Amino acid sequence: MMARYYLGKIYVETKEFEKAIKEIEKAVEIHPSLWDGFYWLGIAYESTGNQDSAISNYEKSIELNVHNTDARKRVTGLYLKKGAIDKVIEQLSAVASMEPDNMNVIGALVNMYIDNDQFDEAETEIRKVITAEPDNLGAISLLGRVLGVMKRYDEAIEQFEILLDLKPENLKVYLYMGRLHMENLDYEKAEDILKRALVIQTEDDELNFTLAVVYEKKKQFDEMYFYLKKTLQINPKNVQALNYLGYSYADRGINLDEALDLIKKAIALDPEQGYIIDSLGWVYFKKGMYDEALRAVKKASEIEKDDPVVFEHLGDIYMKMNDSARALDAWGKSLKFHEKEKGLKERVEKKINDITE
């Protein structure tokens, strides 16, 4: 009866899945320990869209042969579609232990851990790889990113410094280090590392944009404008730079027509980003076009439901329109999320006090 199994495999390969299911089911009925039969049966069911039967057969194959990493990988994809995250992690962890050199699997496992705020588990998994392979660049990079997410900035930067020793011209490493220094509020070091990178490659728009942000944090606005404009010279479609430059002009009340043009270009390139739509509203606000500003920022608030700056802007617009009740409501929502924006709490509380005292 093994002939039915081999015939079923042929049917799978020729995409005759119903015939494959019929033949392989007869084979596994006679040979219930045929783990690869259940595996191929899973593939046939998955190919017909019957995910539940596919999962059942993959699971049976794994039960009969725990080392069947092919079945584990395939069932992982189906678990992911069903949102069964614990089972996804269980299978990825098992495959990673059997295939310790498979950085795709380890990377997927680490990303799952990160997405579920299981940072300690992510770190542990990566360090296993580095212990076995101290010069594994992918693992070192992953560890640096995970430590960064955990806000262990010094340790994260140390990992990227190891990478620079191994790959001194890797621009992405400089970029990560610059961003980590910024998150750690060490703007001098961020500036230094990004300038080192620009010596290697002056025409990288991401490096120039990130350096512009550093200068904004340092309140060196002339330098900020220089690097934002340079970013757009290199890549006129850099959405972040278009928005950042336009919003900066608007926030300072200068070059408002140019600001409007820049932000409209950003929206044309990425029309569903709430923070860019908010920037559009803020330009309208600064131009005294309050109805247009309200429409834009209300739309932004429906997308960015927990952005304190968007709700602060909404309150400011309502106040200009003499609707203090709605202004207070918007500012109250802004305060709920104030920890995301340094200095916002004091700023918004003053606005509230100015109209309630």
278: left (phi over 0), alpha (psi -120 to 50) or beta: alpha
Within a domain: 2: yes
How many domains does the chain fold into? 1
Band (pLDDT 50/70/90 cuts) for residue 1 is low
One-letter amino acid for residue 67 of the chain: H
Per DSSP, 339 falls in state: G
Q: How far is CA 100 from CA 103, 118, 124, 159, in A?
A: 8, 20, 13, 20
pLDDT at 131: 86
- In a domain, residue 95? The reply is yes
Contact 325, 309 (CB under 8 A): no
Orientation angle between helical segments 35-47 and 2-13, nearest 10 degrees: 30
CATH code of the domain covering residue 24: 1.25.40.10
Q: Nearest-CA neighbor of 92 among 149, 79, 230, 10?
A: 79
In one letter, which amino acid is 300? A
The predicted model gives 319-325 an average pLDDT of 95
More confident residue, 167 or 62: 62
Which pLDDT does position 203 carry in this prediction?
A: 95
For residue 232, pLDDT over 80 is answered with: yes
Q: pLDDT per residue over 150-190, tens digit each? A: 999 999 999 999 999 988 888 999 999 999 999 999 999 99
Phi-psi region of 79 (alpha: psi -120 to 50; beta: other; left: phi over 0): alpha
Residue 41 maps to a domain: yes
**Mean pLDDT over all residues of the chain?**
93
Overall pTM > 0.85:
no
**What pLDDT does residue 130 have?**
87
- Residue 107: its pLDDT value, please? 82
The answer to the question of residue 180 being in a domain is: no
100-104: average pLDDT:
80
3-class secondary-structure state, position 323: coil
Among 203, 246, 208, residue whose Cα is nearest residue 226: 208
CA nearest neighbour of 323 among 299, 290, 300:
290
With pLDDT > 90 as the criterion, what percentage of the chain qualifies?
Answer: 79
For range 81-92, the mean pLDDT = 93
Q: Is residue 63 part of a domain?
A: yes
Q: Please, which pLDDT band fits residue 195 given cuts at 50, 70 and 90?
A: very high
Q: Residues 6 or more apart from 44 whose CB is under 8 A from it?
A: 8, 11, 12, 17, 20, 21, 24
Residue numbers of the domain that contains 3: 1-99
pLDDT in tens, 29-59: 999 999 999 999 999 999 999 999 999 999 9
Q: Which residues contact 59 (CB under 8 A, 6 or more apart)?
A: 75
**What is the predicted pLDDT for the residue at 343?**
84
Q: Answer whether residue 125 shows pLDDT above 90.
A: no
* Pick from 326, 305, 304, 308: nearest CA to 317: 326
Question: Distance of CA 178 to CAs 172, 185, 206, Å?
Answer: 10, 11, 11
Closest CA to 299 of 284, 280, 315, 316: 280
Helices (H) and strands (E) in the chain, counts: 21, 0
Q: Does any domain span residue 15?
A: yes
Q: Which long-range contacts (CB under 8 A, 24 or more apart) does 113-119 make?
A: 113/89, 114/146, 114/149, 116/85, 116/89, 118/89, 119/146, 119/149, 119/150
Chain CA centroid to CA 118, Å: 16
Within a domain: 36: yes
